[in-house]
Amino acid sequence: MAKQCRNLALLFTLLLLSATQLAFAQSQKPEPKTRILFLLDASGSMLAKWENSDRMAVAKNLLAHLVDSLERYPNVEVALRAYGHQFGRERNDCKDTKLEVAFGQKNAAAIKSRLDGIVPRGNTPITYSLQQVASDFPEDRSRNVVILITDGLESCGGDPCATSEALQKKGIYLRPFVIGIGIEPEYEKQLSCIGQYFNAADIKTFETVLSEIVTQALSQTTVSVELLDDKDRPTETNVNLTFVNALTGAPEYDYVHYLDGKGRPDELEIDALVPYHLQVNTTPVVLEQNLSIRPGRHNVIKVKAPQGELYLRQDGAMPYGQLNAIVRQAGSGQTLYVQGFGSRQKYLAGTYDLELLTMPRITLPGVEVKQGQTNTVTIPPPGQLAIPSQVQGYGSVYLMEDGGAQRWLCNLPEDNSKVTLALQPGKYKLVYRIKSAQSSKFTFVQEFTIRSGATTSVKIFNR
C-alpha cells in the first residue's frame, strides 16, 4: 500500500508540473476554478474484505493521499460528502447523507481527519445524496466535478440516473465520475448512466482509476478540426464551428475555422468533461454527434465537408430588381437557403433544386454543386407589362399555358392600376373590372404577349 501511495504522489507531482507550465503559457487567459467533491459510499457493505484490507480502509487511504496532492494546485478546491454512515441499517434512513467538509482552500487536513472518523453503517441513498450535492457547490462560475465512490446500487428506490442528468442540464456540475468497487458486471449499467463509469476490480485498478480521473479533470485537452474535401484532404476552411453540449443542447464554443500558411488547422482548447456534438455550419449543416474526446491529449476531428459555390446572375439590360431564389436539397420540400441574384454562396457538394421567385416562378431541379467549383446559373432578362391606366378596381394577371389552361399569377392594386410588372416571356391574360362598373359583364379581358427585353403596354377600358 505504501508503494501504491508513493506512485500516486509521483503522478500528481508530474501533473502539477504540467499544469504549472500550462498556466505560464496561458498567463493572459484566466483559468476557471475547479471544484472536486468526493461523494463517498459509507454504507455497511464498505466493511467487506478487499485483498489484505477492507474497502473503506483502502478508499480512505487513497483519498487521503489524493487530497494531499490536490492541495498543491492553486486553482483547485475539494470537498467531502459521505452517505450511509450516521445510522445503522435497521433504521433504513434514506436521508443519511452529510457534507463532512465544505469547499475551501487548504482543507486536506480537515478531510483526512473526517475520513478517519467515518464508520460504515447504513444503506445506500445515492439519489438523495446527489440531490444534496447541488447545494454543496458555491454559486459562482467554476468547473464542478463529482467523484462518486460506491460498492453498491441505490437502495432507497430513487432514480440516480435521472437526478444526475437533471443536475447536469442545470449546469450544477459536469458529467460525474463513478468508481464501482466490487460491482457485478450485470449491475454496471445501473451506475454508468449516472456518469463516466470505472470498474475498480482490485486495489491497483482503484489507484489507477483515481489517477486517470484527476488527469481528465485537470489536464489540458486540445482539438483540431480537419474539414475534408471530396478527396479526404483537409482543405476546407473559414467555416463557423459550434461545439454543442450533447446533454443540454447549448453551445459551449463557437469558432471560425482557420488554416495556417502550411494548410494546418489550429489547436483549440476545450473542456474534456463535457460531452460534445460538433456542428459544422456549412449549407446545409454537418453534425458530428457524440465526439470521442480523449482527455489530456490532442484530438484530431475529421469531418467530411466538401464545398462548391453557386453563383446566380441575370443577363440583359432589363433585369429584375431584387430577385431571390429558394434553394432546397434535391427531393426535399424544405427551404435550405434563400439566395439573391448577383450573389455567391457556398454549399456542400451535392444536388439542389432551385425555385426562382420570378413571375411566373422558374424551377430548376437537379442543379449540381461540385467541390471547389462555381456553378453559374444565368437566366435571360424578363419583359415588362406596363399598364398606363390610372383607375381603381379589381383584377388579376394570368399565365396562358400550353394546351389552353390559364394559371393565376397575381392581383393588381385596387387603388391604382398603373403598374409595371417584370414577367417571363410568354402569353398572358389581364382580367379587370373597374370599381365604378355596376355589373360583372363590364369585366375587361385582354390577352397579350411578353418578349424578353421588351415592354408590352395594355390599356384598361371600361366595358
| Contact yes or no for 200/209 (Cβ under 8 A) | yes
Give the separation between CA 404 and CA 399, rounded to whole angstroms.
10
DSSP, collapsed to helix, strand or coil, labels residue 422 as strand
Which of 208, 197, 117, 192 has the alpha carbon at shortest distance from 160?
192
Which of 102, 146, 100, 98 has the alpha carbon at shortest distance from 122?
98
Instruction: Give residue-wise pLDDT tens across range 176-229.
Output: 999 999 999 888 999 999 999 999 999 999 999 998 998 889 999 999 999 999
State whether 162 and 282 are in the same domain: no
> Is cis: bond before 360, omega within 30 of 0?
yes
Give the separation between CA 327 and CA 335, rounded to whole angstroms.
6
State whether 229 and 328 are in the same domain: no
Could you tell me which residues come within 8 angstroms of residue 70 by beta carbon, excluding any fewer than 6 positions away? 12, 36, 76, 78, 108, 214
* Domain-terminating residue out of 169, 192, 218: 218
| Contact yes or no for 132/99 (Cβ under 8 A) | yes
Q: What is the pTM for the complete model shown?
A: 0.81
Query: What single-letter amino acid sits at 130?
Result: L
In a domain, 77, yes or no: yes
Q: Which CATH number is 389's domain given?
A: 2.60.40.180
Q: Which CATH number is 254's domain given?
A: 2.60.40.1120
Which of 312, 328, 332 has the alpha carbon at shortest distance from 320?
312
In a domain, 414, yes or no: yes
| Contact yes or no for 65/143 (Cβ under 8 A) | no
| Contact yes or no for 176/147 (Cβ under 8 A) | yes
Return the residue matching grid coordinates 508530474.
14
* Domain-terminating residue out of 379, 405, 436: 379
> Is cis: bond before 284, omega within 30 of 0?
yes
State whether 181 and 323 are in the same domain: no
State whether 188 and 259 are in the same domain: no
Looking at the chain, the whole-number percentage of residues with pLDDT higher than 90 is 83
State whether 150 and 63 are in the same domain: yes
In a domain, 245, yes or no: yes
* Domain-terminating residue out of 267, 285, 304: 304
State whether 236 and 188 are in the same domain: no
pLDDT at 141: 82
Give the separation between CA 115 and CA 377, rounded to whole angstroms.
74
DSSP states along 436-447: T--SGGG-EEEE
In a domain, 154, yes or no: yes
pLDDT at 25: 40
Phi then psi for residue 94, to 5 deg, are -90, 10
- The stretch 131-155 carries a mean pLDDT of 94
State whether 296 and 240 are in the same domain: yes
Give the separation between CA 37 and CA 195, rounded to whole angstroms.
14
Helix (H) or strand (E) holding 128: helix 126-133
pLDDT at 401 > cutoff 60? yes
Confidence bin at 22 (pLDDT 50/70/90): very low
Query: What single-letter amino acid sits at 386?
Result: A
In a domain, 371, yes or no: yes
In a domain, 463, yes or no: no
| Contact yes or no for 94/156 (Cβ under 8 A) | yes
Cell of 34: 475547479
| Number of folded domains that form the chain | 4
Which of 235, 240, 243, 324 has the alpha carbon at shortest distance from 282?
240
Could you tell me which residues come within 8 angstroms of residue 365 by beta carbon, excluding any fewer than 6 positions away? 330, 353, 354
Q: Which CATH number is 156's domain given?
A: 3.40.50.410
pLDDT at 28 > cutoff 50? no
The beta-strand segments (E) located in 112-220 are: 143-150, 177-181, 196-200
Weakest-pLDDT range from 25-34, 78-87, 259-268: 25-34
pLDDT at 20: 47
| Domain around 61 | 2-218
Which of 70, 163, 81 has the alpha carbon at shortest distance from 108?
70
Instruction: Give residue-wise pLDDT tens across range 409-454.
Output: 999 999 999 999 999 999 999 999 999 999 999 999 999 999 998 9
Give the separation between CA 364 and CA 370, rounded to whole angstroms.
17
Q: Is 182 left (phi over 0), alpha (psi -120 to 50) or beta?
A: left
State whether 390 and 364 are in the same domain: no
pLDDT at 388 > cutoff 50? yes
Confidence bin at 74 (pLDDT 50/70/90): confident
Give the separation between CA 46 and CA 65, rounded to whole angstroms.
19
DSSP, collapsed to helix, strand or coil, labels residue 308 as strand
Instruction: Give residue-wise pLDDT tens across range 325-379.
Output: 999 999 999 999 999 999 999 999 999 999 999 999 999 999 999 999 999 999 9
State whether 176 and 50 are in the same domain: yes
State whether 111 and 213 are in the same domain: yes
Return the residue matching grid coordinates 482527455.
295
State whether 214 and 247 are in the same domain: no
State whether 139 and 193 are in the same domain: yes
Query: What single-letter amino acid sits at 26?
Result: Q
Return the residue matching grid coordinates 466535478.
145
| Contact yes or no for 183/201 (Cβ under 8 A) | no
In a domain, 462, yes or no: no
pLDDT at 310 > cutoff 50? yes
Give the separation between CA 125 and CA 95, rounded to whole angstroms.
7
